[in-house]
Amino acid sequence: MWVDVDIIECAGGDYLHAPPKKYAPQVRIISCPEDERLWPSFKSLGIPILGVEFILSGLLRHQLLLEDFVLS
């Protein structure tokens, strides 16, 4: 499953065209289990990696449930 950038921006988020090089508390990575090989660099920075369902559920419920959609 892939979330369109327009959905993220419509929900008030910003799409980063390049991965962050350092920790920023407002950054979240939206990913899927198929991309697990890309996670180590984000995890080493302490950036939370969330499933696509985080965006879709957040839009439907009008609330952000960060802990419910963390990919480990």
Query: For position 10, which CATH number holds?
Result: 3.40.50.10190
Q: Is the pLDDT at 12 greater than 90, yes or no? A: no
Distance between CA atoms of residues 13 and 34, nearest Å: 23
Q: Which domain holds residue 30?
A: 5-69
Give SS3 for 50. strand
Q: How many domains does the chain have?
A: 1
Q: What is the pLDDT of residues 15-72, one digit of tens each?
A: 888 888 999 999 999 888 999 999 999 999 999 999 888 888 888 887 777 777 778 7
pLDDT above 70 for 3: no
Is the pTM higher than 0.95?
no
CB distance 7 to 59 below 8 Å:
yes
